[in-house]
Amino acid sequence: MRQDIAIYTLTSELHNEHAVTTMTTAFLESLEIDYLLKGTDYSDYGSHALNLIYVRTGGTEGIFRRLLPELQDKSRRPFYLLTSGKSNSLAASMEILSFLRQHNIGGEIIHGNSDYMSRRIQLLSKVEEARKSLFGTRLGIIGAPSDWLISSHADKAKVRERLGIELIDIPMQELLDEIGESKQIYQALKVLINRYQLRGFTLRCFDLLTTVKDTGCMALAKLNSEGYVAGCEGDVPAMLSMMIVRSLLGVSGFQANPSRIDPETGELLFAHCTIPLDMVERYELDTHYESGIGTGIRGYMKEGPVTIFKVSGDLSRHFIAEGHLIRNESKPDLCRTQQVIRLTDKNLTNSYFLADPIGNHHIIMPGHCQELLEQLLVK
Protein backbone atom coordinates (compact mmCIF):
# COMPACT_ATOMS: atom_id res chain seq x y z
CA MET A 1 0.00 0.00 0.00
CA ARG A 2 1.46 3.33 -1.08
CA GLN A 3 1.79 5.83 1.72
CA ASP A 4 0.30 9.29 1.24
CA ILE A 5 3.45 11.36 1.79
CA ALA A 6 4.06 14.65 -0.02
CA ILE A 7 7.38 16.50 0.04
CA TYR A 8 7.47 20.24 -0.65
CA THR A 9 10.71 22.19 -0.99
CA LEU A 10 12.28 25.45 0.15
CA THR A 11 15.36 26.66 -1.76
CA SER A 12 17.30 29.92 -1.70
CA GLU A 13 17.71 31.63 -5.06
CA LEU A 14 21.41 32.07 -4.27
CA HIS A 15 22.10 28.36 -4.68
CA ASN A 16 22.85 26.63 -7.96
CA GLU A 17 19.67 24.79 -8.97
CA HIS A 18 21.44 21.99 -10.79
CA ALA A 19 23.67 21.22 -7.82
CA VAL A 20 20.75 21.38 -5.39
CA THR A 21 18.62 19.11 -7.59
CA THR A 22 21.39 16.50 -7.76
CA MET A 23 21.75 16.66 -3.98
CA THR A 24 17.97 16.38 -3.53
CA THR A 25 17.71 13.26 -5.65
CA ALA A 26 20.47 11.47 -3.77
CA PHE A 27 19.12 12.53 -0.38
CA LEU A 28 15.52 11.48 -1.00
CA GLU A 29 16.55 8.16 -2.56
CA SER A 30 18.56 7.38 0.58
CA LEU A 31 15.38 7.54 2.67
CA GLU A 32 13.79 4.63 0.78
CA ILE A 33 10.21 5.84 1.25
CA ASP A 34 7.25 6.26 -1.08
CA TYR A 35 6.48 9.93 -1.65
CA LEU A 36 5.19 12.53 -4.07
CA LEU A 37 7.68 15.32 -4.78
CA LYS A 38 5.63 18.52 -5.03
CA GLY A 39 8.53 20.97 -5.21
CA THR A 40 7.56 24.61 -4.72
CA ASP A 41 3.91 24.07 -5.66
CA TYR A 42 2.13 24.37 -2.31
CA SER A 43 -1.36 24.58 -3.80
CA ASP A 44 -2.45 21.25 -2.29
CA TYR A 45 -0.45 21.51 0.93
CA GLY A 46 -2.30 19.82 3.77
CA SER A 47 -4.32 17.50 1.53
CA HIS A 48 -2.00 14.56 2.02
CA ALA A 49 -1.73 12.45 5.15
CA LEU A 50 1.84 13.57 5.81
CA ASN A 51 3.11 16.87 4.43
CA LEU A 52 6.89 17.35 4.69
CA ILE A 53 8.76 20.56 3.92
CA TYR A 54 12.28 19.78 2.73
CA VAL A 55 14.46 22.76 3.62
CA ARG A 56 17.04 22.23 0.92
CA THR A 57 19.31 25.21 1.68
CA GLY A 58 19.99 28.05 4.04
CA GLY A 59 18.57 31.48 3.32
CA THR A 60 15.03 30.09 3.13
CA GLU A 61 13.71 31.49 6.41
CA GLY A 62 12.12 34.55 4.80
CA ILE A 63 10.51 32.42 2.10
CA PHE A 64 8.89 30.25 4.75
CA ARG A 65 7.69 33.27 6.72
CA ARG A 66 5.94 34.63 3.62
CA LEU A 67 4.36 31.24 2.92
CA LEU A 68 3.20 30.66 6.50
CA PRO A 69 -0.25 32.37 6.37
CA GLU A 70 -1.18 30.41 3.25
CA LEU A 71 0.02 27.12 4.73
CA GLN A 72 -1.87 27.68 7.98
CA ASP A 73 -5.05 28.31 6.02
CA LYS A 74 -4.60 24.89 4.42
CA SER A 75 -3.60 22.85 7.49
CA ARG A 76 -3.41 23.14 11.27
CA ARG A 77 -1.07 20.18 11.66
CA PRO A 78 2.52 20.68 12.90
CA PHE A 79 5.15 21.62 10.35
CA TYR A 80 7.58 18.77 9.68
CA LEU A 81 10.89 20.18 8.41
CA LEU A 82 13.05 17.66 6.57
CA THR A 83 16.78 18.46 6.44
CA SER A 84 19.74 16.86 4.69
CA GLY A 85 22.48 18.45 6.76
CA LYS A 86 23.97 20.08 3.67
CA SER A 87 23.91 23.64 2.29
CA ASN A 88 22.97 25.04 5.73
CA SER A 89 19.71 23.12 5.62
CA LEU A 90 19.78 22.34 9.35
CA ALA A 91 20.62 25.90 10.39
CA ALA A 92 17.70 27.29 8.39
CA SER A 93 15.36 24.65 9.80
CA MET A 94 16.36 25.59 13.35
CA GLU A 95 15.64 29.26 12.70
CA ILE A 96 12.26 28.40 11.19
CA LEU A 97 11.33 26.09 14.09
CA SER A 98 12.36 28.76 16.60
CA PHE A 99 10.08 31.23 14.81
CA LEU A 100 7.21 28.74 14.91
CA ARG A 101 7.71 28.15 18.64
CA GLN A 102 7.65 31.91 19.29
CA HIS A 103 4.20 31.97 17.70
CA ASN A 104 2.94 28.81 19.48
CA ILE A 105 2.86 26.81 16.25
CA GLY A 106 3.81 23.12 16.34
CA GLY A 107 6.75 21.82 14.41
CA GLU A 108 9.60 19.31 14.30
CA ILE A 109 12.90 18.98 12.50
CA ILE A 110 13.49 15.55 10.97
CA HIS A 111 17.24 15.14 10.85
CA GLY A 112 19.79 12.35 11.38
CA ASN A 113 21.07 9.36 9.47
CA SER A 114 18.98 7.84 6.71
CA ASP A 115 17.70 4.94 8.78
CA TYR A 116 16.53 7.20 11.61
CA MET A 117 14.82 9.65 9.25
CA SER A 118 13.13 6.84 7.36
CA ARG A 119 11.79 5.28 10.57
CA ARG A 120 10.61 8.67 11.83
CA ILE A 121 8.82 9.47 8.58
CA GLN A 122 7.19 6.03 8.50
CA LEU A 123 5.93 6.50 12.06
CA LEU A 124 4.61 10.01 11.37
CA SER A 125 2.93 8.75 8.22
CA LYS A 126 1.04 6.06 10.15
CA VAL A 127 -0.01 8.59 12.77
CA GLU A 128 -1.17 11.19 10.29
CA GLU A 129 -3.06 8.55 8.28
CA ALA A 130 -4.85 7.60 11.50
CA ARG A 131 -5.67 11.24 12.26
CA LYS A 132 -7.05 11.63 8.76
CA SER A 133 -9.21 8.52 9.12
CA LEU A 134 -10.55 9.64 12.51
CA PHE A 135 -11.77 12.98 11.18
CA GLY A 136 -15.51 12.80 10.58
CA THR A 137 -15.91 9.49 12.45
CA ARG A 138 -19.30 9.00 14.11
CA LEU A 139 -19.47 6.95 17.31
CA GLY A 140 -22.70 6.07 19.09
CA ILE A 141 -23.45 6.13 22.82
CA ILE A 142 -26.34 3.68 23.09
CA GLY A 143 -28.24 4.17 26.33
CA ALA A 144 -25.71 6.42 28.17
CA PRO A 145 -22.88 5.27 30.45
CA SER A 146 -23.71 2.71 33.14
CA ASP A 147 -24.57 4.27 36.49
CA TRP A 148 -21.37 3.03 38.16
CA LEU A 149 -19.10 4.68 35.59
CA ILE A 150 -19.07 7.98 37.45
CA SER A 151 -15.79 9.15 35.85
CA SER A 152 -16.25 7.70 32.37
CA HIS A 153 -18.11 10.39 30.46
CA ALA A 154 -16.71 12.54 27.67
CA ASP A 155 -16.42 16.16 26.61
CA LYS A 156 -18.01 16.05 23.16
CA ALA A 157 -16.66 19.43 22.07
CA LYS A 158 -13.07 18.58 22.97
CA VAL A 159 -13.32 15.16 21.32
CA ARG A 160 -14.55 16.83 18.13
CA GLU A 161 -11.85 19.49 18.30
CA ARG A 162 -8.92 17.16 19.02
CA LEU A 163 -9.83 14.06 16.98
CA GLY A 164 -12.64 15.15 14.66
CA ILE A 165 -14.92 12.48 16.17
CA GLU A 166 -18.63 13.15 16.60
CA LEU A 167 -20.36 11.43 19.52
CA ILE A 168 -24.01 10.54 18.89
CA ASP A 169 -26.48 9.86 21.72
CA ILE A 170 -28.90 7.03 20.88
CA PRO A 171 -31.75 6.12 23.29
CA MET A 172 -31.66 2.61 24.70
CA GLN A 173 -35.32 2.21 23.79
CA GLU A 174 -34.42 2.52 20.12
CA LEU A 175 -32.19 -0.54 20.41
CA LEU A 176 -34.82 -2.43 22.40
CA ASP A 177 -37.40 -1.69 19.69
CA GLU A 178 -35.07 -3.09 17.04
CA ILE A 179 -34.39 -6.19 19.16
CA GLY A 180 -38.16 -6.67 19.31
CA GLU A 181 -38.27 -6.62 15.52
CA SER A 182 -35.29 -8.88 14.80
CA LYS A 183 -35.14 -10.96 18.00
CA GLN A 184 -31.33 -10.68 17.80
CA ILE A 185 -29.08 -8.18 19.59
CA TYR A 186 -26.45 -8.44 16.86
CA GLN A 187 -28.90 -7.66 14.05
CA ALA A 188 -30.46 -4.80 16.02
CA LEU A 189 -27.04 -3.23 16.57
CA LYS A 190 -26.26 -3.53 12.85
CA VAL A 191 -29.48 -1.62 12.11
CA LEU A 192 -28.36 1.24 14.36
CA ILE A 193 -24.85 1.21 12.88
CA ASN A 194 -26.33 1.68 9.41
CA ARG A 195 -29.01 4.13 10.49
CA TYR A 196 -26.56 6.50 12.17
CA GLN A 197 -23.58 5.74 9.89
CA LEU A 198 -21.42 4.69 12.81
CA ARG A 199 -17.89 3.31 12.84
CA GLY A 200 -18.50 2.14 16.37
CA PHE A 201 -20.46 2.50 19.57
CA THR A 202 -20.53 1.79 23.28
CA LEU A 203 -23.55 0.02 24.71
CA ARG A 204 -25.22 0.25 28.12
CA CYS A 205 -25.24 -3.52 27.96
CA PHE A 206 -26.33 -4.39 31.50
CA ASP A 207 -29.80 -3.01 30.68
CA LEU A 208 -30.23 -5.98 28.36
CA LEU A 209 -30.11 -8.34 31.33
CA THR A 210 -33.33 -6.96 32.78
CA THR A 211 -35.16 -6.13 29.54
CA VAL A 212 -34.48 -8.99 27.13
CA LYS A 213 -32.89 -11.43 29.59
CA ASP A 214 -29.75 -11.73 27.49
CA THR A 215 -26.28 -10.25 27.12
CA GLY A 216 -24.55 -8.32 24.36
CA CYS A 217 -21.26 -10.16 24.82
CA MET A 218 -21.36 -12.26 21.64
CA ALA A 219 -22.74 -9.43 19.50
CA LEU A 220 -19.94 -7.11 20.61
CA ALA A 221 -17.31 -9.81 20.04
CA LYS A 222 -18.54 -10.37 16.48
CA LEU A 223 -18.89 -6.68 15.59
CA ASN A 224 -15.38 -5.89 16.81
CA SER A 225 -14.02 -8.72 14.70
CA GLU A 226 -15.83 -7.25 11.68
CA GLY A 227 -13.91 -3.98 12.05
CA TYR A 228 -16.34 -1.90 14.10
CA VAL A 229 -15.56 -0.57 17.55
CA ALA A 230 -18.04 -2.12 19.99
CA GLY A 231 -17.58 -1.18 23.62
CA CYS A 232 -19.24 -2.25 26.87
CA GLU A 233 -21.18 -0.53 29.64
CA GLY A 234 -21.51 2.81 27.85
CA ASP A 235 -17.88 3.64 28.69
CA VAL A 236 -17.11 6.50 26.31
CA PRO A 237 -13.39 6.99 27.09
CA ALA A 238 -12.85 3.25 26.58
CA MET A 239 -14.66 3.47 23.22
CA LEU A 240 -12.49 6.42 22.18
CA SER A 241 -9.39 4.47 23.17
CA MET A 242 -10.55 1.51 21.09
CA MET A 243 -11.22 3.79 18.11
CA ILE A 244 -7.74 5.25 18.30
CA VAL A 245 -6.27 1.74 18.39
CA ARG A 246 -8.38 0.66 15.42
CA SER A 247 -7.44 3.69 13.30
CA LEU A 248 -3.76 3.68 14.15
CA LEU A 249 -2.98 -0.04 14.23
CA GLY A 250 -5.84 -1.67 12.35
CA VAL A 251 -6.50 -4.12 15.19
CA SER A 252 -9.22 -4.70 17.75
CA GLY A 253 -8.75 -3.81 21.40
CA PHE A 254 -9.82 -5.82 24.45
CA GLN A 255 -11.80 -3.69 26.93
CA ALA A 256 -11.24 -5.06 30.41
CA ASN A 257 -10.78 -3.96 33.99
CA PRO A 258 -8.02 -4.90 36.44
CA SER A 259 -9.34 -7.44 38.93
CA ARG A 260 -6.15 -8.10 40.85
CA ILE A 261 -2.81 -6.30 41.08
CA ASP A 262 0.52 -7.42 42.53
CA PRO A 263 2.66 -4.28 43.05
CA GLU A 264 5.75 -6.37 43.85
CA THR A 265 5.82 -8.27 40.56
CA GLY A 266 4.06 -5.75 38.30
CA GLU A 267 1.46 -8.36 37.39
CA LEU A 268 -2.18 -7.45 36.76
CA LEU A 269 -5.13 -9.72 36.12
CA PHE A 270 -7.54 -8.15 33.60
CA ALA A 271 -10.97 -9.65 33.04
CA HIS A 272 -14.19 -9.11 31.07
CA CYS A 273 -16.98 -11.24 29.68
CA THR A 274 -16.37 -10.46 26.02
CA ILE A 275 -13.36 -10.09 23.75
CA PRO A 276 -13.16 -9.50 19.97
CA LEU A 277 -13.14 -12.85 18.24
CA ASP A 278 -10.26 -11.79 15.97
CA MET A 279 -8.01 -11.32 19.03
CA VAL A 280 -8.13 -14.89 20.32
CA GLU A 281 -6.65 -18.21 19.27
CA ARG A 282 -9.69 -20.02 20.64
CA TYR A 283 -12.68 -19.33 22.85
CA GLU A 284 -15.33 -21.05 24.97
CA LEU A 285 -18.87 -20.01 25.79
CA ASP A 286 -20.07 -19.62 29.35
CA THR A 287 -22.71 -17.58 31.15
CA HIS A 288 -22.30 -13.88 31.89
CA TYR A 289 -20.37 -13.72 35.18
CA GLU A 290 -22.33 -11.20 37.27
CA SER A 291 -25.80 -12.36 36.25
CA GLY A 292 -25.28 -16.03 35.46
CA ILE A 293 -27.48 -15.68 32.36
CA GLY A 294 -26.98 -15.22 28.64
CA THR A 295 -23.62 -15.80 27.00
CA GLY A 296 -20.16 -14.81 28.16
CA ILE A 297 -16.97 -15.47 26.23
CA ARG A 298 -13.81 -17.00 27.63
CA GLY A 299 -11.18 -16.09 25.08
CA TYR A 300 -7.55 -17.21 24.98
CA MET A 301 -5.22 -14.67 23.42
CA LYS A 302 -1.72 -15.53 22.25
CA GLU A 303 0.88 -14.93 24.95
CA GLY A 304 3.49 -12.29 24.19
CA PRO A 305 4.01 -8.52 24.05
CA VAL A 306 0.99 -6.30 24.67
CA THR A 307 0.21 -2.64 25.27
CA ILE A 308 -2.31 -1.26 27.77
CA PHE A 309 -3.97 2.03 26.79
CA LYS A 310 -6.59 4.53 27.97
CA VAL A 311 -7.53 8.15 27.23
CA SER A 312 -9.64 10.37 29.46
CA GLY A 313 -13.00 11.65 28.26
CA ASP A 314 -11.69 15.16 27.62
CA LEU A 315 -8.42 13.83 26.10
CA SER A 316 -6.40 15.82 28.64
CA ARG A 317 -4.77 12.62 29.96
CA HIS A 318 -3.73 9.27 28.65
CA PHE A 319 -2.02 6.14 29.93
CA ILE A 320 0.17 3.79 27.90
CA ALA A 321 2.17 0.88 29.27
CA GLU A 322 3.91 -2.01 27.59
CA GLY A 323 4.11 -5.47 29.03
CA HIS A 324 3.70 -9.18 28.34
CA LEU A 325 0.66 -11.40 28.45
CA ILE A 326 2.15 -14.25 30.45
CA ARG A 327 -0.93 -16.48 30.71
CA ASN A 328 -4.68 -16.76 30.24
CA GLU A 329 -6.76 -17.97 33.17
CA SER A 330 -10.26 -19.38 33.69
CA LYS A 331 -11.08 -18.84 37.34
CA PRO A 332 -14.80 -19.27 38.15
CA ASP A 333 -15.05 -16.15 40.34
CA LEU A 334 -14.23 -13.56 37.64
CA CYS A 335 -15.46 -12.31 34.28
CA ARG A 336 -14.88 -15.03 31.73
CA THR A 337 -11.89 -13.79 29.69
CA GLN A 338 -8.91 -13.41 32.05
CA GLN A 339 -5.43 -12.24 31.16
CA VAL A 340 -2.40 -11.96 33.44
CA ILE A 341 -0.11 -9.21 32.19
CA ARG A 342 3.31 -8.35 33.60
CA LEU A 343 4.20 -4.70 33.08
CA THR A 344 7.63 -3.77 31.76
CA ASP A 345 7.67 -1.00 34.37
CA LYS A 346 6.26 -2.60 37.50
CA ASN A 347 6.28 0.75 39.33
CA LEU A 348 3.19 1.73 37.33
CA THR A 349 1.08 -0.58 39.48
CA ASN A 350 1.50 1.87 42.37
CA SER A 351 2.04 5.20 40.63
CA TYR A 352 -0.84 4.80 38.18
CA PHE A 353 -3.25 1.93 38.83
CA LEU A 354 -3.39 2.30 42.61
CA ALA A 355 -2.89 6.08 42.81
CA ASP A 356 -4.09 7.92 39.70
CA PRO A 357 -6.06 5.72 37.25
CA ILE A 358 -8.24 6.85 34.34
CA GLY A 359 -11.37 4.92 35.29
CA ASN A 360 -11.47 1.16 35.58
CA HIS A 361 -11.65 -0.12 32.00
CA HIS A 362 -8.45 -0.23 29.95
CA ILE A 363 -7.74 -1.38 26.41
CA ILE A 364 -5.30 -4.20 25.73
CA MET A 365 -3.82 -4.75 22.28
CA PRO A 366 -1.17 -7.12 20.91
CA GLY A 367 2.36 -5.82 20.38
CA HIS A 368 4.39 -2.97 21.80
CA CYS A 369 2.81 0.18 20.41
CA GLN A 370 3.67 2.93 22.88
CA GLU A 371 5.66 5.11 20.50
CA LEU A 372 2.88 5.24 17.89
CA LEU A 373 0.17 5.95 20.46
CA GLU A 374 2.22 8.67 22.15
CA GLN A 375 2.83 10.41 18.82
CA LEU A 376 -0.85 10.43 17.88
CA LEU A 377 -1.79 12.06 21.18
CA VAL A 378 0.70 14.90 20.84
CA LYS A 379 -1.30 18.12 20.65
Question: Would you say residue 15 has pLDDT above 70?
Answer: no
d(CA 273, CA 277): 12
Q: pLDDT tens for residues 239-269?
A: 999 999 999 999 999 999 999 999 999 999 9
Pick 76 or 356 by higher pLDDT: 356
Same domain, residue pair 39 and 76: yes
Among 94, 115, 134, where does a domain finish?
A: 134
The domain total for the chain is: 2
Same domain, residue pair 78 and 191: no
Q: pLDDT tens for residues 53-72?
A: 999 999 999 999 999 999 99
Which structural domain, as residue segments, surrounds residue 115? Answer: 5-134
Same domain, residue pair 55 and 191: no
Q: How many CB atoms lie within 10 A of CB 8?
A: 21
Q: pLDDT tens for residues 192-218?
A: 999 999 999 999 988 998 898 888 999
Q: pLDDT tens for residues 285-337?
A: 988 777 778 888 999 999 999 999 999 999 999 999 999 999 999 998 888 99
Split at pLDDT 50, 70, 90, the class of 86 is confident
Question: Would you say residue 283 has pLDDT above 90?
Answer: yes
Same domain, residue pair 144 and 16: no
Q: What CATH number should be reported for the domain holding residue 53?
A: 3.40.50.10940
The alpha carbons of the chain give a radius of gyration, in whole angstroms, of: 24
Among 134, 164, 194, where does a domain finish?
A: 134
Same domain, residue pair 203 and 337: yes
How much is the pLDDT for 278?
A: 96
Among 104, 134, 164, where does a domain finish?
A: 134
Same domain, residue pair 151 and 101: no
Same domain, residue pair 206 and 313: yes
List of E strands, the chain: 5-10, 36-39, 50-55, 79-82, 107-110, 138-142, 166-170, 200-203, 229-232, 254-262, 267-272, 282-286, 296-300, 304-311, 318-329, 337-343, 362-366
Same domain, residue pair 85 and 225: no
Same domain, residue pair 16 and 148: no
Same domain, residue pair 18 and 130: yes
Same domain, residue pair 47 and 105: yes
Same domain, residue pair 198 and 110: no
Question: Is beta strand 200-203 parallel, antiparallel or unpaired with respect to 138-142?
Answer: parallel
